[in-house]
Each structure stands twice: as C-alpha cells, then as structure tokens.
Structure 1
C-alpha cells in the first residue's frame, strides 16, 4: 500500500511540477567569477554578510582573495566555520546567532554540500523565526523568502547550489532528514573551476562519483523534471 501511495504521489507531483514557481540561481561563471561576487553582493545593497563554511575550506586558504575583495568594497563579513559533515541543528543555530548578533543582511555558503545545507537552514530560520528546524522537516514548510543566498560550491558532488533541499542531522534523536522548499534555492551560484581543482584528490574523486550518480538518476528516476532532462 505504501509503495502504491509513493507512486501516486510521484505522478501527481510530476504533473504539478511545471507550474510551480521554480527559481533558477543567477550564475556567475568563469575563472574570475569569485572576484566578481563582491560586486553582486554590493548591488544587492548588502553591507554585512554571514559566510558559512567549514574548517577544512578555511585552512586551505580558498577564501583569501575573496575576503579581501569584500573588504575593498566596504562589506563586513562574519565567518562561521564549525560546520560538520552532515550539518546539525546545533550548527544552524550557532550560525543563526552569529547572523542575528551582527545584523547581517545576506548569507554566503562557501564549500561543499554541508556548508550549503547549513546556510540554507540559517536562511530558513531567518525567514521563519517562529519555527524550529524540526518543524520545517518535509516539504513546503517555509513558504517565505529567505535572505539573499550566494552559493560558492567547491565540489562537483551535491549540486546543492541549485536545489530546493537541505539535509539536516538532529544529534539528539540521531535522525537525518530533508527540508524541501522552493525558497531554499540560492539566489546566486558562483561556478569557479579553480576552486574545485585545489581540493585534495580523494575529495575530487568522491564528489565526482556523486555528481555522476545524480546525472544517472536524472535519466532513470521516475521523479525527473524538465530541468533534469536538459
């Protein structure tokens, strides 16, 4: 019975999907795309911004020139780098506190899928301060605009810079679940190949296979859409 329910749900969602208000991130592409990002942030009238990343990315020094670019344009930034693989509710709440205490106006997700999901969780909590992360579990529980979200992927694996979902771990219950909402799609995505080539080789290999599985799924999955078929 449950299998039949899932199949019916998939078919209904596939019929409704074309009329949903999907947002496509504005792409900033090329080897100098990261250098151009501060200008886009300034264009959005943002003077204080939260950067969500992890300690590994920060130790690699991938953000050095970019942070200087923010300073040159008078944009204050506040870095949260405690994100763990499979980000937790604690990560989100800590980053949210940093966002609110410094009166930030936007969020940069810099890294792989975990910083992306953590940043989306922060955006969801800013948009819906009345709801906890666990209360937004599932589909379409946000339904409000999140702050401007700038995604800077350093891996090719998750594709989170263009998706509607964030996967969160509840350390208390040991539960891992997704928050899915159209408003979680980032507003901007920076696609800079120089960021990916500087990663350790084993991470490049693992995330490359992750990207391949997503591509295969787009061909054979029953829930594919017009966008995944492009």
Structure 2
C-alpha cells in the first residue's frame, strides 16, 4: 500500500525572489531514508491561448537560457501576491507581455508543473477577442518579440511537429481546442467551425 513519505527534517538551502529550495530528509513506508530530497518551491504559474477577433493567436518569442535558444511561447508568468486570483494574473501578464487586453477569459484547467520536485500549479486559460491597448511593460530581464499567427495554421505546425514548444504550453493548446469544440457559446462559434473544418477535412 502506498503512503506519503514522512518528512523528518527540512532545511531551506537557497532562497531568492523567484525560487526557494527546500532540502528534506524523508522516510518511506518501508523504512528507507531518502536524503537530501530537494523540492523547488515556485509560485503558481499561468498561461493563456489568447486569440484576437480575427482568430489570430498571440505568441511571444524570447531567449530561454535553460536551453540556450530563442523559443516561441504562449503569454505566461507567475501569480504575484498582488493578483487576486489566477485570472487576474494572466490578464496582467497578457497586457505586460503583449500590450493586449480585454476579451473574455475562460479557465481551462489546472495541472502540476513537475510534481517530482516542484510544488507549484499551472493554470491554463483561453482568451477570446483581445485587442491592442497598451505599450509593453517588461521585467528588467525580459526581451520579447510579439508575434500573431493564424490559430489554425499555428496548431497545424504544432501537431505536425514543425515547432517546438514547452510541454505546459502544448497542454494549454489541447485544453483550448477541447474547450472550443465542446462548448456551444456564441463567442466560440466561428472558432469551433474553423477547428471542425480543419479536423475533419480530407486534406
């Protein structure tokens, strides 16, 4: 029978504004001592499939030092203490990173980022009808290029493996497509028809 590990000791071995490393001594049900087991404590994260009224998806290109590459991504970020909830966080991130705001936001799902050694959740959203309203407001370490692509064509690139996204953003795209196809809200009508035509076309 599986049981949670018993934490018999815990020390904070690193902490800054973005990350806290908790180093634990753990005892398993069978009596095995696991030490040190490092847990990376991050704030919750948010991301969004943000679509304009013309069914263009908002994307950002930025350098990611972990893989030393410039990557295409969805607008995303961390939930800050000043944010009332995850939706407020992603609305703020979209405005800061792309200069777009407004539209209707739908919460799609919540997943774990990497439960093996991270404690944070990831909230995914769909935004429909966002519009350009602001200048970008970037963090000191951010250099971002905003890109708009046809939503259906971008999905085709992802599904065919022609563009490499981080896994959490691929999950958000799957959430968004499923949500659009399963909901009959008028605001999603054109998107739903377009995806249906794409999925069931003979080409």
TM-score between both structures, scaled by the size of structure 2: 0.28
Q: Between Structure 1 and Structure 2, which shows a larger proportion of helix residues? A: 1
Which one scores higher on RCO, CA 8 angstroms, separation ≥ 6? 1
Q: Between Structure 1 and Structure 2, which shows a larger proportion of strand residues? A: 2
| Rg larger for | 2
